[in-house]
Chain A
Amino acid sequence: MNLPSPTLLAQAILSGIFVGALYGLLGLGLSLSWGLLRQINLSHFALAFLGAYLSYQLATVGGVDPLVTLLVIAPLFFVLGAAIHGLLSRFAVTPLNSLLVTFGLTVIIESVIQWYWTADYRRLASRYADITFRAGPLFVPLPELMTFLLSVSLCVAVWATLRYTDLGKAIRAAAEDAPIAAAFGVNQRTLAALLSGVCAALPGAPGVCLALSYTLTPSQLYAWIGVVFAAVMIGGLGSALGPLFAGIVIGVSEAITMALTAPSWAPLVSFSLLIVVLLVRPGRA
């Protein structure tokens, strides 16, 4: 274990914060649909990658600014999400079975991605990638900064909606006890459809971020599943800000581990944390 310089450590922590914000953003839709709809939506990751590829396609072929592609992707996913939800609720699928059904969807979406874009590595070349800010001795690449800002603003926006608006309160009430909420005039069915549409539209955002910062290949979507689940569970199901904080904690721990030991030890951090949380505080689900 060799102690790196303070600058290197600080840079590692900074990049840990950025990647943690991406974990949180990826976890946002997952946490909401698990906590509020009792559906574990594994296809969330496939949708994020589909969004990444769509963003890549529109930007590379259509010349559209990657951020603007979100305006196309989000409504498309919203419709898809509402459709999936219709299917799951019509068959009264249990949470565990929803995991299996959405795994099936993940495989289908991955096959579609691979069929259209092949397994070749794709890299979105945007003008954002070239810009890097300096904060003292530290480097702050623009795509990562944009990811962070997008993540924080979306998570806070969702949190505020759930917390302060009537719509948010109705959603939370319906999640806790649907029949009673219905007795108080909450239209649970419409809300659930709306919520699942939003939960499916949300992965579009991290998708765009992925396209900006990472090289894409279809099989990579599985690499994110474990660590994002860890962030969601540690942050608390149904929470909008929880996965963000947990994601940042995980990201920073991973980065420090990578700086102090070797990069390949990083997964140990998030999964050990997850195991500990599951054993010590299992009641959160």
Chain B
Amino acid sequence: MPFFGLPAFYETFLYLVFHWIVLATSWNILSGYSGYFSFGQGAFFGLGVYATATLAAHYRWPFLATLPMAAAAAAGLGLALGTVVFRVKQVRGELFALLTLAVTFVLATVILNTSIDGGPGVYLSAVSLPAIGRTPASTFYLLELGLAVATLAIAWWIARSRLGTGLFAIHDDEDVAEVLGVPTFRCKQVAFAIGCALAGAAGGIHALFVSYVTVAETFSITVPLTVVLMSVLGGTRHWAGPAVGAAVITIISYASTTGDHVLAGKAAVGVILIAVILFMPEGILGTLRPGRTRSKRQQGEVPQAVVPAGPGDQDFPRPAIQSSTTGARVLSLREVSKAFAGIKALDRVTLDVYRGEILGLLGPNGSGKSTLINVVSGYYSADAGSIVFDGQSIERWPPHRVARIGLARTYQIPRPFAHSSVLDNVVLTAMFGAPALSRRDALIEARRWLDFTGLASKANALPAELNLHQRKFLEFSRALASRPQLLLLDEVLSGLTPTEIDSAVGLIRRIRDQGTTIVLVEHLMRAVIALADRIAVLDQGSLIAEGMPDDVMAQAAVKAAYLGTAANVAG
């Protein structure tokens, strides 16, 4: 089928189309799916070029044998880079883009100055091309066709896999994804390595195609910027988006290769890029096919879970992780401290949470309640002290590991994944959290929790279409779908109407009745009195009271924290 016996010009042109399809799609695997826009694709491509050039021209390796090495070298560089860069939280967005661009120039300089190139470039004219096709042009065409098909297949498969779900979640909100159990570091590393390997392989083939490689040509700014352009044009969220963009741009660029129109073609590319970013930010495919189609398709496949209507009469599954200890304490904090640039957010907090209770965590604004939740869930690491959850010391654990053993939290200001439907938001937790279900089972689980919280009718809506109450309940569903042992609720009732509060209170009580321990950070007194078995009060980072609600509220220190001390008015 692919071998039409076309004139060499067309085969070469198609080689170029496939070449850019491979580069753009491989870039998209990390950068498009996860949002980490890299400007370093040129570095990995160039490394592949020079790997093949060095091995084939200097060490006389057979050409095809150099290609796996080119891919491996590029993947190795990507992994090394990712190990350093992905651990630094703030290096995202434009910073990551610049860093990867800098790496490209560093690599180019090193190659230029060492014996790998040394300056004059590397000639591959002595390297023999295996006769896969009848002519050299056909051979390159077939090689690149194979690579392009493989790349597209990989991109398609990743988009549908667990890895892809994790990457898309990272794209929308990496911190939340991590807290819900997605191993973000591992996902990014794998995606990066795969994308780099494919770019390296493309580089290896290209080295022999051009047969004379120089640093200036290989590491020019063209490759990194063009792959971004092509992917954005086609749509970065779709596996085939970059391929569409690559085809369009290559055709336009080369349709105008004849003399006078070169510059017009070049300028046209610039105009297209601007128009696409401004008018079609989701790209061609993103605009034609909005991203919700996945859940719609699968909606028809999954058998409806048999759940009774209404949240009142359901038999809720018990926590996914059966406790590994028989102790009464599910969470123990000892002398936990956390400071931010001199401000002591938590000051030697010692607190126990007993299995099956609802612990109310109170305190004025700024007392450290949210920090406590962030530290326990792993988003911040404590400066000092120990945290024992279900018998395990979790102070140094990354958030996704803590989520895996049965801890879930909600956010005070709801943070749903904006590009995923309500159903997909909940499915993610069921897939990556403690239950670690397959997508099929996770869908059933997700539907159950959406029924429980009353959001079933909104399953296919995007979070932007929900009101605050619904978004809070989405937070609930998402946290519950991991069937946690311990649930940390961060001001989940704020902003709700009295009726909504009543229904939420009933829901919280039912969750506890099924075996989940709850820590409830709340300002609303009547809810706390109604729900809490015990309360603890924080003030300026320290725990100032703990015990039964009536006892604690009567304490002078607590009153002072909320209301201040009496002033003597000279009469």
Tell me the A residues contacting B by CB distance below 8 Å.
40, 87, 91, 93, 95-97, 99-101, 103-108, 110-112, 114-115, 222, 225-226, 229-230, 233, 262, 264-268, 271-272, 274-275, 278-279, 282-283, 285
- Contact call B98/A274, Cβ cutoff below 8 A: yes
Q: Is the CB of B277 within 8 A of A100?
A: yes
Q: A104-B273, A105-B274 are in contact. Are A279 and B94 (CB under 8 A)?
A: no
Q: A226-B105, A278-B95, A279-B85 are in contact. Are A103 and B225 (CB under 8 A)?
A: yes
A100 touches B232 (CB 8 A): yes
Q: Are A271 and B263 in contact (CB under 8 A)?
A: no
- Complex interface: stretch among B167-175, B264-272, B493-501, B528-536: B264-272
Q: Which of B104-126 contact A (CB under 8 A)?
A: 105-106, 108-110, 112-113, 119
Are A275 and B220 closer than 8 Å at their CB atoms? no
B102–A104 contact, CB under 8 A?
Answer: no
Contact B93 A95 (CB under 8 A): yes
21 CB < 8 A contacts A-B: A100-B228, A100-B232, A103-B225, A104-B269, A104-B272, A105-B274, A108-B274, A110-B266, A111-B266, A111-B267, A229-B98, A229-B101, A264-B113, A265-B113, A267-B106, A267-B109, A268-B110, A272-B102, A274-B98, A275-B103, A283-B90
Asked if A40 meets B94 with Cβ closer than 8 Å, knowing A107-B269, A267-B108, A274-B102, the reply is yes
Complex CA distance for A104 and B272, rounded to whole angstroms: 8
Q: Given A108-B267, A282-B91, verify A275-B274 contact (CB < 8 Å).
A: no
Contact B102–A222 (Cβ < 8 Å): no
Main secondary structure of the interface of A (DSSP, over half): helix
Decide if B277 touches A267 in the complex (CB within 8 Å): no
Option from A107, A278, A282 in Cβ contact (under 8 Å) with B273? A107
List the interface of chain B (C-beta within 8 A of A). Answer: 37, 84-85, 88, 90-91, 93-95, 97-99, 101-103, 105-106, 108-110, 112-113, 119, 220-221, 225, 228-229, 232, 263-264, 266-267, 269-274, 277-278, 281
Nearest 7 interchain pairs by C-beta: A107-B270, A104-B273, A111-B267, A108-B270, A104-B274, A282-B90, A104-B270
A275 near B99 (CB under 8 angstroms)? Answer: yes
Q: Is the interface of B mostly helix, strand, loop or mixed?
A: helix
**Chain A residue with minimal CB distance to B91?**
A282
Chain A nearest CB, measured from B241 CB (Å): 15
B398 to chain A, nearest CB (A): 19
Output the residue of A106, A107, A112, A283 with the most chain B CB within 10 A.
A107
- Chain A min CB distance to B68 (Å): 29
Determine how close the nearest CB of chain B comes to the CB of A220; give it in whole angstroms: 12
Nearest opposing residue in chain A for B278, CB measure: A91
Contacts of B277 in A (CB 8 A): 93, 97, 100-101, 104
Q: Other CB < 8 Å A-B pairs besides A93-B277, A271-B105, A279-B85, 16 of them?
A: A87-B278, A95-B93, A100-B273, A106-B270, A107-B266, A108-B267, A108-B271, A114-B263, A115-B263, A226-B102, A229-B98, A262-B113, A268-B106, A271-B102, A272-B102, A282-B95
Chain A residues with CB under 8 Å of B110's CB are 268
Instruction: Determine if A233 and B84 form an interchain contact, defined as CB atoms under 8 angstroms apart.
Output: no
Given contacts A93-B278, A96-B93, A112-B267, contact A103 B102 (CB under 8 A): no
In the bound assembly, the distance between CA atoms of A50 and B97 in angstroms comes to 26
Give chain B residues whose Cβ lies under 8 Å from the Cβ of A264. Answer: 109, 112-113, 119
Indicate if the CB atoms of A272 and B106 lie closer than 8 Å. yes
